[in-house]
Amino acid sequence: MGTHPLGLIIRNVSKRYANGVQALYNISLDIPLGMYGLLGPNGAGKSTLMRTIATLQEPDGGQLFLGDIDVVNQKEAVRQTLGYLPQEFGVYPKASAEELLDYFAVLKGITNRAVRRETTEALLKQTNLWDKRKQKLGGFSGGMKQRFGVAVALLGNPRLLIVDEPTAGLDPAERVRFLNLLSELGENSVVILSTHIVADVSELCTNMAIINQGQILLEAEPLEAVAALKGRIWRKLTDKRALPALEQEHRVISAKLLSGRTLVHVYSPDRPGHGFEPVEPDLEDVYFSALTGCFGPVSQQPKAEGVAL
């Protein structure tokens, strides 16, 4: 077992809902300090795991440790050092950013007025909302609301910050601004970014896991995982009607439309045959290889050498 005295350790966590859905099967992860990506399609179990870490629900079995805090049995200790930005959060539309942040700071226990003013000012500046602090939250754009959510989540300097699907509703410029904000946070705390968007992880995270149907398919450093696929991904531009036959013959990991044709990526250690060209793999290839069962844990792959940053 790797030890991360300040990180998060998850061991054999399972969860089955009352309706019979098994959302998590025996999940174990080592999450070190820094930005960690939890990547998986809708319904994979990401939110269930995030809510479990955030002490909002209990697992059926298993253990979680944040440093030396036992998450399941010491919920208050976790909550004191947790920042959680859920997928959707309500704001009071008639309050200004400054007023509501001040209110949340009181709830967080920052009762000294001067300390509170200093804290909220720093957070509004950090999230680039200082100029908008007097504006009502009801008029905020999606990106501004998300950044306000980060300001709230950062109150009290959390050691653990959880951000669940944060970029889903943002336009491209807002998304970049939001990711830049997150990238500055990861140095002294655990930041878990749960997302179905591969680019969020490839741009930000130094470590990641891929989850599907309640199981971890891959736990890796993105750069290593990409390097381990080198020479194994091939592409072919084809006709949609030819896809079923290709799927019979090859391990097709993805097929997407490109100018009305279908661009197929195939996993194969050797050249798959006529008409295929080699592809420089990226994290999307890692993701689809893992989802289609072509790509197991990185430690079982030949170690890639000389991964350049």
By CB under 6 A, name the binding residues for ligand ADP: 17, 19, 21, 23, 40, 42-48
Closest CB to ligand ADP among residues 20, 260:
20
Instruction: Tell me how far, at minimum, the Cβ of 16 lies from ligand ADP, in Å.
Output: 9
Q: Which residues contact 154 (CB under 8 A, 6 or more apart)?
A: 83, 123, 126, 161, 185
Tokens of 206: 């130094």
Distance in Å, CB of 164 to ligand ADP, minimum: 7
Contacts of 118 (CB under 8 A, 6+ apart): none
Pairing of strands 22-31, 251-258: unpaired
CB hemisphere CA count around 250 (13 angstroms): 28
**CB of 40 or CB of 59, closer to ligand ADP:** 40
Closer residue to ligand ADP (CB): 209 or 252: 209
Tokens 């699907």 sit on residue = 165
Considering only CA atoms, give the Rg of the chain: 22
* Nearest distance in Å: CB 191, ligand ADP: 17
Q: How far is the CB of 214 from ligand ADP (least distance, A)?
A: 7
DSSP-assigned letter for residue 272: -
Least distance (Å) between residue 206 CB and ligand ADP: 22
Question: Which residue number, 98 or 165, has a Cβ lying nearer to ligand ADP?
Answer: 165
Under 8 Å between Cβ of 249 and 266: no
- Nearer to ligand ADP by Cβ, of 149 and 281: the residue is 149
Q: How far is the CA of 139 from the CAs of 99, 127, 130, 145, 209, in angstroms?
A: 15, 17, 15, 9, 36
